[in-house]
């Protein structure tokens, strides 16, 4: 079996930003990955932040399962759902609902997955900062590339997904 390559060159700009010496996003900076992104001062269209709330924010997943895959999370790093303040909890789930609405509007999908992987053993890729996943799904969206090659094909760039979600985010419900 030969090794196949799928190019995603558009990700290199973000990787360059994150790994640059002196970058507020670099791993040696203080805070969790998401706290560094939120506090970086980098424009939202470069960090793919969709919404900034008082206690929580919404961002496009940099490694999406499908286009339109969002993360909803508290502004501060907290690994445990039960440790959120009442204000964080309320805003988190209000934003999950808004994210579902925006994903449905932007992608005209057949369904939506919403979920959390809490803790490393629970499957969390960033276990120190809980986050809810919100992603569009379609009937039959698992095709031969996923089943045979364990590969997902995403037809739009992350910037295109961000713009589409931001547009839907600002629309009144039901439009």
- Token readout for 136 is 């569009």
Q: What is the distance in angstroms between the CA of the first residue and the CA of the last residue of the chain?
A: 49
Nearest one of 51, 75, 87 to 162, comparing CA atoms: 51
- Token readout for 149 is 């090659």
Query: Which of 51, 69, 131, 133 does the annotation list as catalytic?
Result: 131
- Token readout for 54 is 């008082």
Domains in the chain: ranges and CATH: 9-170 (3.30.428.10)
The structure's pTM equals: 0.80
Clarify whether 129 is annotated catalytic.
no
d(CA 44, CA 86): 27
Print pLDDT tens along the chain (175 aa): 444 545 555 555 555 555 455 554 555 568 899 999 999 999 999 999 999 999 999 999 988 888 899 999 999 999 999 999 999 999 999 999 999 999 999 999 999 999 999 998 988 888 999 999 999 998 876 654 454 555 566 678 889 999 999 999 998 776 5
How many alpha carbons fall within 13 Å on the CB side of residue 9? 0
Instruction: Note the pLDDT of residue 112.
Output: 94
- Token readout for 172 is 């009144």
- Token readout for 152 is 């997902």
Q: Are 32 and 129 in contact (CB under 8 A)?
A: yes
Angle of helix 158-170 relative to helix 86-107, nearest 10 degrees, comes to 110
């Amino acid at each position: 079996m030969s090794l196949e390559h799928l190019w995603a060159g558009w990700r290199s700009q973000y990787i360059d930003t994150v790994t640059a010496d002196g970058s507020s996003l670099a791993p040696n900076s203080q805070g969790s990955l998401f706290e560094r992104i939120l506090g970086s001062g980098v424009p939202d269209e470069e960090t793919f932040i969709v919404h900034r709330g008082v206690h929580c924010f919404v961002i496009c997943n940099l490694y999406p399962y499908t286009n339109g895959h969002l993360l909803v999370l508290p502004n501060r790093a907290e690994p445990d759902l039960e440790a959120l303040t009442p204000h964080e909890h309320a805003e988190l789930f209000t934003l999950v609902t808004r994210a579902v609405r925006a994903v449905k509007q932007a992608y005209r999908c057949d369904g939506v997955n919403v979920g959390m992987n809490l803790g490393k053993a629970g499957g969390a890729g960033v276990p120190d900062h809980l986050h809810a996943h919100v992603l569009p799904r379609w009937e039959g969206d698992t095709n031969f590339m996923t089943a045979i090659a364990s590969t997902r094909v995403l037809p739009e760039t992350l910037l295109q997904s961000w713009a589409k979600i931001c547009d839907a985010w600002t629309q009144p419900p039901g439009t």
